Amino acid sequence: MDARTLKEGIVSGRLDADALNASFADLHAPLGDHEALVATDRCYFCHDAPCITACPTDIDIPLFIRQIATGTPEAAAKTILTQNILGGMCARVCPTETLCEEACVREAAEGEPVRIGRLQRYATDTLMAQGVHPFSRAAPTGKRIAVVGAGPAGLACAHRLAMYGHDVVVFDARPKPGGLNEYGIAAYKSTEDFAAREVEWLLQIGGIEIRTDMALGRDVTMDDLQGAYDALFLGMGLGGVNALTAPGADKDGVLDAVDFIADLRQATDLSTLPVGRDVVVIGGGMTAVDAAVQSKLLGALNVTMVYRRGRDRMNASVWEQDLASAKGVRIITNAAPVAVHGNGSVREIEFEFTDDDLNPTGQTFRLAADQVFKAIGQTLSGEDLPDLDGRKIAVTGPGRTSVAGVWAGGDCASGGDDLTVTAVAEGRDAAEDIHAALMRA
């Protein structure tokens, strides 16, 4: 057996370095200066622009496009970053096709929207390349706020609070800050270590200290933070993964998709990552698509996504579904896993077709599989948290929880979509409310 083989069928180095570099190159090449100007020319600069309403962070999209058109992309970047301090990453990973671009008047009239996401990236990349941070801190207030989670919600909250002159300490369970942007985004969507560079740029505001390898409940408690700080924001995301309950789900080769994506994002040499010959991904969201596409890009021969509902119910956008299909991923819908077969390691996974109400039909089929990735949702982990709404922290207004002095936002909080851009909006809005509360005190 080849030295690279971990178990039968699962090996590293299926593709050579050149093929891997090509496969994991930037999904969308950045716009050049001339391309950006051409793209701005298609904007109608609507007075009551529907694209603004469709943006969770309320960016004045016609304004920033006009600023690019008039040769001031730095000003455009500040317009974006005032509303969304992680505008660079959101330009790369935001499902613009179902948000601002879907609402674009050009999309309604012609079926081809203004390329808002790519123009946003052009503006923010231009500013970041200059090493410029366009915001400064207000006079110190003497207030200290703790933020749990250095992901999009926590970073957005911390930056806005630092702008107001507060001192912020961010605690994160991972070795590196960034949260989902650092560990959970497909590598071809965020290349050249952009997530880490964006965090470094954000911290130029000053007044923010990040403490990594500090998990809530393990290294620090809610009581500790409430006693030592004037306010607390919880933005730690969802740390747990839903279990696959089908018999045999504990066999070797059945893995969590989020761990696979994190390992890939942190790998310095993609040729060392093992991938199966026959890969099955269970789920229908963005994580499932990212795991399936990247398995194919690593050299898996057969990759299949299986989702228990119809395509119209998948959390992954139609654009993402089409991307998966274009990369060679087979998508099967209305099928639920019923058993994992194999002697110690997975060899097949059995599914049963379901109707639109998830009722089993009695018709089953099996897929060969030496590697199975579970992408069936994540759960909130932690103890002594504020009141929950279902499986997430219950919040009202701009992130207020049931506990006085404690706010929450992002994926761990109820109410919003599990999107990077939504998490940024919730962190920002909570920071505004925290600031107002502290100044009244």
Three-state DSSP class for 102? helix
How large is the greatest C-alpha to C-alpha distance in the chain, in angstroms? Answer: 69
Query: What is residue 175's DSSP assignment?
Result: S
How does the average pLDDT of the chain come out, rounded? 95
Can you give the pLDDT at residue 405? 97
Q: Where are the beta strands (DSSP E) in 59-104?
A: none
* CATH code for the part of the protein at 241-377: 3.50.50.60
Given a cut of 50, whether residue 4 has pLDDT beyond it is: no
pLDDT for 45 beyond 90: yes
Q: What is the mean pLDDT of residues 217-244?
A: 95
| Domain residue ranges in the chain | 33-129, 144-239+380-440, 241-377
* pLDDT score at 7: 55
Q: Name the CATH architecture for the domain at 33-129.
A: Orthogonal Bundle (1.10)
Nearest to 78 by CA among 152, 129, 128: 128
The tens digit of pLDDT for each residue in 338-350 reads 999 999 999 999 9
| Residue 44 pLDDT | 95
pLDDT beyond 60 at 52: yes
Q: How many CB atoms lie within 10 A of CB 105?
A: 15
Mean pLDDT of 352-363: 95
What does the pLDDT look like over 132-170, one tens digit per residue?
Answer: 899 999 999 999 999 999 999 999 999 999 999 999 999
C-alpha–C-alpha distance, residues 222 and 290, integer Å: 34
Residues above pLDDT 90, as percent of the chain: 94
Distances (CA, A) of 241 to 136, 200, 237, 327, 356: 39, 29, 12, 26, 25
Q: In this predicted model, what pLDDT tens digit does every residue of 414-435 receive, in sequence order?
A: 987 889 999 999 999 999 999 9
- Those residues whose C-beta lies under 8 Å from the C-beta of residue 31, and which sit 6 or more positions away, are 39, 115, 118, 119, 121, 122
Arithmetic mean of pLDDT, 405-409: 98
Q: Give yes or no on whether 144-239+380-440 and 241-377 have one common fold.
A: yes
Beta carbons within 8 Å of 231's beta carbon, 6+ residues apart: 143, 145, 146, 405, 406, 407, 434, 437, 438
Buried b (16+ CB within 10 A) or exposed e, 222-241: beebbeebbbbbbbbbbbeb
Q: State residue 8's pLDDT score.
A: 60
Q: What is the pLDDT of residue 5?
A: 42
Distance between CA atoms of residues 156 and 418, nearest Å: 15
For 375, the 3-state DSSP assignment is: coil
Q: What is the pLDDT of residue 254?
A: 96
CATH number of 144-239+380-440: 3.50.50.60
- Would you say residue 3 has pLDDT above 90? no
- Stretch (H or E) spanning 29: none
